[in-house]
Amino acid sequence: MISDGAVFEDDHLPDPIVGRNRHMNEVTDALAPIEQGFRAENCFLFGPSGVGKTTVARAAVRELRREVLDVPYAYVNCWEDYTRNAVLDKVATDLVGSAVPRSASNNELMKRIKRGHNGPGVVILDEVDQLRETSVLYDLHEIRGLSWIGIANDEIDLLADLDDRVRSRVSVGFRVRFDRYGDDTIAEILDHRARDGLGAGVVNRRVLETIARLSEGDARMALTVLRTAASRASTEGLSTIPERLVEDAVPEAKREMARKTYSKLNDHQRVVYEVLRDEGELIQRELYKRYSERHGDPVSLRYLRDTHLSKLEHYNLVTTESRSGKKIYRLSAEHHEHHPEQV
């Protein structure tokens, strides 16, 4: 039933982009100076997960490269590459194609980038609020002609630990804010993907609208549910997706998304997750104590709370409540019952 599985992958870049015309226009406006050979404005995209931030950023760069052939760009997932050295290494590799020794220092990486980059260029910094060393934003600003698109859930989280030098660079530039998709837009997104990835007539509009309603404005969840329902229908030997399979597909889709999220956790976040998995609910200071005992290079309590714990909460891996004036952390109910090693 699934004729093109790539259509449902997170890194698939659709054309056209559905439901984000205003956001696309704002980002392309920010990048417009590159078409005249000038440095573009830095641009920041804020909003919850599953609302198209990364898709819009990548699509805007695609449009730019259609106008200015081969304008150099790099994509950095700061959840995976969250140190200064890792970001500079990725930029050196993607932006200037430099073969970088594994042991290259930050200074050597900067020299290679500056030597190889001659003109305007763009770096997409996905999950930029996950950077452990935000001084790399200043490094990128020092590269002639280079601008960045920073993607984060919340501007407050991004600004929390910036020093004054970095803050002065981040405080200027475009802000593009995303809200949840409406059900009609989600259904339209699903319709486009279904035609490309499943074929005509496999799923009707009513089923798509049901998926949209159950996804609560999260396009990533909606697409996962659609693919899961299609797989279930195929297993049953059906040629179309009946509505009865949709609700059954939702828990499986949530578990799959949980596995993907868990696989992306950095070592600090994974240790926190495993502490809560092993020990149950904990107050903040007790959680930090257990984390510090397990991690070889623990961050400060404030940094753990503002960066790693907030990210775990945002992706619904961890939930909190206040009790007797203390904040209690625990795995979300779904993860407590079916943590990724079990599903």
pLDDT digits (tens, 9 = 90+) for 81-123: 988 999 999 999 999 887 777 788 999 999 999 999 988 999 9
For the chain, domain boundaries:
20-177, 183-262, 265-337
Which comes out higher in pLDDT, residue 182 or 255? 182
The pLDDT score that the predictor gives to residue 343 is 40
Mean pLDDT rounded to a whole number for the chain: 89
The pLDDT score that the predictor gives to residue 44 is 93
Per CATH, the number for 265-337 is 1.10.10.10
The pLDDT score that the predictor gives to residue 342 is 47
Q: Domain 20-177 falls in which CATH fold?
A: Rossmann fold (3.40.50)
Coil/strand/helix, residue 147:
strand
Among the listed ranges 53-67, 100-114, 231-245, 268-282, which one has the minimum average pLDDT value? 100-114
- Residues 50, 221: contact at Cβ < 8 Å? yes
The pLDDT score that the predictor gives to residue 302 is 87
pLDDT at 166 over 50: yes
CA dist., res. 187 & res. 190, Å (int): 5
Q: Residue 34 half-sphere exposure, CB side, CA atoms within 13 Å?
A: 32
User: Percent of the chain, pLDDT > 70?
Assistant: 95
Query: Judging by DSSP bridges, how do beta strands 326-331 and 282-283 pair with one another?
Result: antiparallel
* Predicted TM-score of the model (pTM): 0.86
CA dist., res. 134 & res. 131, Å (int): 6
The pLDDT score that the predictor gives to residue 257 is 86
CATH architecture of 183-262: Orthogonal Bundle (1.10)
Coil/strand/helix, residue 292:
helix
Q: 4-50 pLDDT, tens per residue?
A: 999 998 889 999 999 999 999 999 999 999 999 899 989 999 999 89
Which run of H or E residues covers position 77? strand 73-77
Mean pLDDT of 143-166: 81
Q: What is the dihedral of CA 233, 237, 239, 240, to 10 degrees?
A: -30
